[in-house]
Structure 1
Amino acid sequence: MYKLVLATALLSTAAAQTLETFDGSRTWSETNDPVMGGLSQATFKISQGTGVFNGTCKIVPSLQAPGFCSAQSEKTHLRASYPDVSKSKGLELVVRSTTPTFKGFKVAFATKHAKSSSRYTPFGTFKAPFALSSGAREQTVFVPFTDFSWDWSPYTGECDTKDPTGVQHHCCGEGDLEQYCPSSKDLAELTGLELWAEGAEGDFHLEVKSIAAVAAPTLRYNKKVDA
C-alpha cells in the first residue's frame, strides 16, 4: 500500500515575505462585473485560514465577451501597508482548486504610485495571469514580477490586447516596455492585493492559503512512499 505525502524542496534559501495568510487581520471583499453591466457572480469568504473565491464568469451582453469577478483586500492608498518586497522576484501563492482548467485566474497588487490604465480604474494596479496544474491537490504557483503590468485592459484584463475604443495595452518588457513593469519603488510600497477571475467563461473555485513575495520559486511535489 502507498500513501501520498507532500515533499518540499527549496530552490532558494531566501526567506519568503508573507503578505497574506487569511487570518482575519485584513478585510477582503468581492466585486463583480454587474457594476459594468455584466452578469458574473462570485463570493469571497475567509474560512479556517483560507480565502475561498467561488463563482461564475459569464458573457457580458454589451461586449459579447467574458466578464470578471474580483476579490480585494482593503486598500490604504496613501500609505504602504505591506512589507518592502523590492528585493523579491515574484509572488508565490499556495492554492487549491476544483477548477484547475479555468483560464481566467489572475493576481494583482496595488501600490502608492501605480499608474491607472483607464478611467474605470482610478487607482492603478499591477496584474498578471497564472495557470494551475491539473488535479485538486494543494499546489504552489510562482508569478514573477516581470509578468505584471499596470497597463491592462478593463475589457479583457490582459496587457497585450486592444480595446474596442482603439487603445492598445502593453505588457512589461525590456527597453521602452520597462515603463509598464513594477519598479523597485512600487514594490517597496504595496497597498493592497487582489484576486481575479476574468476573461474566461465558466465556473471557478479557488482556495488560497497564502500569498508571499519570494526571491525564487519554491518547488513542491508529491511523492509516493511505503505506508
Structure 2
Amino acid sequence: MAEGGTRRGSVLPGFGLSMGFTLTYLGLIVLIPLSTILLKTATLTWGQFWDTVTAPRTLAAYRLSFYASFMAALINAVFGLLVAWVLERYDFPGKRLVDGLVDLPFALPTAVAGIVLTTFYAGNGWIGQYLEPRGIKVAYTPLGIVVALTFIGLPFVVRTVQPVLRDLDIQVEGAAASLGASRLQTFLRVILPEILPATLTGFTLAFARALGEYGSVIFIAGNMPMRSEITPLLIMTKL
C-alpha cells in the first residue's frame, strides 16, 4: 500500500486491456478456426448430419481413434513414468542427451516422424523386416497407429512427472524403509500418491494430443476405410 492508504498501480496493463487482448487472441487463434467447422456443418440438414456422424465408416474411425489414443496414452503413462524416474533419480553417461531426446517428438515435424516410423516398421524396414516373419505387422495396421501416437505423446508424461519427482524428498523413502516398509509398500504408499496426479495429467495430455494427431499417423496407418482410417483424416476428407 502507498502512503495515504491508496493502492499502488501495477506496472503491467490493467484488467480491461489484458482481458481485451486475451479475448482477441483466443478469438483469432481458437474461436475463428473452430467456427469454420460449425459453419461447414450448418450447411447440412439435420438428417444429413446424423447420417454422416453415424455412418459405419465414421463409427469405425471413432472406435479406432479412441482405442489407439487410449492405448498409446496408457503405454506412455507407464513408460513415461519410468523414463522420468530414471532421469531424475540416476546419474549416468549421456544423461543430458537422453533428456534432450525426450523432446524430439516436439521438435520433429509430424510428417517427418510418420515417414521415419514407416521406414522403420515397413516390411522391408530396419525393424519391420524382423517383426513380420514372426507375424507382427506394424506398418499400415492399427498397431502402427498406436506406435505413432505413442511416439508423439511420450514427452507429455515425462515432462509432467519430472518436476514432481524432482521435488519429492528422497529422505521420505528412507524413512519408510527404516520403519520396515518394503520397496513395493514404499512405492504404493509414499511415492505413488505424490506422482499419481501428475501421471494422470500427463496421460490426459497425451490422450488429447493423440486424438487430434494427423501428420505422423497418415503415413504409417495405410488409411484404409473401416480398418486403419482415423477420425482426423476422415474430417479432412469431409471438409
- When the two structures are superposed, what TM-score results if normalisation uses the length of structure 1? 0.27
Structure having the higher helix fraction is 2
Query: RCO higher in 1 or 2 (8 Å CA, sep ≥ 6)?
Result: 1
Structure having the higher strand fraction is 1
| Structure of larger gyration radius | 2
- When the two structures are superposed, what TM-score results if normalisation uses the length of structure 2? 0.26
